[in-house]
A and B are shown apart, each in its own frame.
Chain A
Amino acid sequence: MTSNEKLKVLKALLDSLSFRDLTLSLDLLVTGAVVYFYASSLMMATAEQLASGVWISQLLVKVVGVSIALSIVSQLLLELVSDGEVDQPMDEREKQVSLVGNKYALWTLQAGVCFAIGQYAFEQNGMGIAERAPLPFFTLHIMVGAFLLAELVNYATQLIRNRMVTLYG
């Protein structure tokens, strides 16, 4: 492919990008950054920190703080680049895409909650995987993980569906 053809492909791609695609991409990036922050904090923590309820609570507060700060920055960026599109309501296709994203996010969250309930039950009975739980407060981490994963699934599904421009395929 020549550079001229590559430029044409890039132009066509940018041309087909809607403001909604841009918003979803930013939301996906922000959630990805929050997941990275949470996971890296857990991986770098000492055994004492992981076993401390106070440290875990502080980490969760930090995660919420990072999430809010990144959301504000992304919204400001969107306001800057938009041409009044931020205030535009979603049209019927976008609403349907949003519903599909919400459906898969809900399934992910439900699976995570079921897993957390199972883990808690095993933990309380001193059997199964709870015996070999890799982390103290494992149930809590499963719930936080499920919540973050559900957000990722929601944005990724909407982005993919928007790019495919087909709902029932």
Chain B
Amino acid sequence: MAECAITNQIKTLRFMAGEMTQKELAERVGVTRQTIMAIEAAKYSPSLEVAFKIAQVFGEPLESVFQYQHREL
């Protein structure tokens, strides 16, 4: 059985971007703070549009923000 997991570096990137708050990021992306919290905790996988918007806010390529891992259980 395979388990798919998308991890991310949002917390680190927020810290590096002048300690940007989740609320600030949420406002810039156009989602709620709870959604940013869920994405950051890898509890929710965002749509491609939101993922690109997050990467755009940090000025990083998508693969620097989100990583896909395919694990065999």
Q: What residues of chain A have their CB less than 8 Å away from a CB belonging to chain B?
A: 16, 18-21, 91-94, 162, 164-167, 169
Contacts and interface: CB of A to CB of B under 8 A. Distances in A.
Given A165-B43, A165-B44, A167-B44, A92 B31 contact: yes
Contacts, number: 40
B60 to A, nearest CB: 21
A93 B38 contact: yes
B44 A16 contact: no
Interface string B23-65: 0000000111111011001011011001000000000000000
Nearest to B26: A91
Nearest to A21: B34
Given A165-B38, A166-B38, A93 B33 contact: no
B44 A93 contact: yes
B20 to A, nearest CB: 17
A92 B31 CA distance: 8
A19 B26 CA distance: 14
What is the predominant secondary structure among interface residues of chain A facing chain B?
helix
A164 to B, nearest CB: 8
A94 B35 contact: yes
Contacts of B35: 91-94
B44 A18 contact: no
Contacts of A166: 38, 43-44
Nearest to B50: A92
Contacts of A93: 31-32, 34-35, 38, 44, 46
30 contacts: A16-B37, A18-B32, A19-B32, A20-B32, A21-B34, A91-B30, A91-B31, A91-B32, A92-B31, A92-B35, A92-B46, A92-B47, A92-B50, A93-B31, A93-B32, A93-B34, A93-B35, A93-B38, A93-B44, A93-B46, A94-B32, A94-B35, A162-B34, A164-B43, A165-B34, A165-B37, A165-B38, A165-B43, A165-B44, A166-B38
